[in-house]
Amino acid sequence: MKFTDRAAAGRALAGRLQHYAGRDDNIVLGLPRGGVPVALEVARDLGSPLDVLLVRKLRAPGHETLVLGALAEGGVTVVRQDLIIELAIPQRAVTEAIAQERQELERRAWLYRGERPPAAVRARTAIVVDDGLASGEALRAAAGALRRRHAKRIVVAVPAAAAAACEQFRAEVDELVCLGDIGEVRAAADCYEDFSLPADEELRRLLAPWAVPAPE
């Protein structure tokens, strides 16, 4: 399955989420930057509120092509200890990398929301949307953040996923929705004709009309 762009992928994904349409206990959460345009179409179709869920991938120090883990807002950090041991990465380097990404996470939270707090997810079905699922670390951190915020149900919805990551991740959430033949997907970019990322200012523009001042 090939999508024209993220908006087209979001419209297709919404078709698989119609059992959540019209309900008042849902919230759609897009992972920046690529997941937000997908999530926007899902929220429109389902008639659900939309917010951003801030997550940052943690790159392995000295091995920047490898994903060591991820951070999510709310103080959640997921780290692959097996990879730290395998690559003999000093703990100090890991700690410094986490601190840098945490600072960037806070900067982006301010950039996308300003002073507005994250939308409430307590006792709601949180539908987390990204443009693809590869290693699964970012979505794993996102799920951890939502459990900490007492979401009633965690649903992860992506247009495409790597088969291995999909099988490993399925047991960690209440529902995983993925389009296409996941057995043939090697990277999310392979499923899009246009995979260019939206700029931060574009994300602010997309999110602004959906701002809901709903503190936890």
Give the Å distances, CA to CA, from 37 to 19, 58, 205.
21, 23, 11
What is the predicted pLDDT for the residue at 186? 61
What is the predicted pLDDT for the residue at 69? 92
Pick the CATH number of 6-53+119-204 from 3.30.70.141, 3.20.20.150, 3.40.50.1100, 3.40.50.2020: 3.40.50.2020
What is the predicted pLDDT for the residue at 185? 45
Reply yes or no: is the peptide bond before residue 153 cis, omega within 30 of 0.
no
Helix, strand, or coil (residue 8): helix
Per residue, the 3-state secondary structure of 97-139, as one string, reads HHHHHHHHHHHHHHHHHCCCCCCCCECCEEEEECCCECCCHHH
**pLDDT tens-place values along the chain, 216 residues long:** 789 999 999 999 999 999 999 999 999 999 999 999 999 999 999 999 999 999 999 999 988 888 899 999 989 999 999 999 999 999 999 999 999 999 999 999 999 988 888 999 999 999 999 998 877 888 999 999 999 999 999 999 999 887 777 777 888 899 999 886 545 446 778 889 999 999 999 998 889 888 765 444
Give the separation between CA 112 and CA 53, rounded to whole angstroms.
Answer: 10
Domain limits, the chain: 6-53+119-204, 57-112
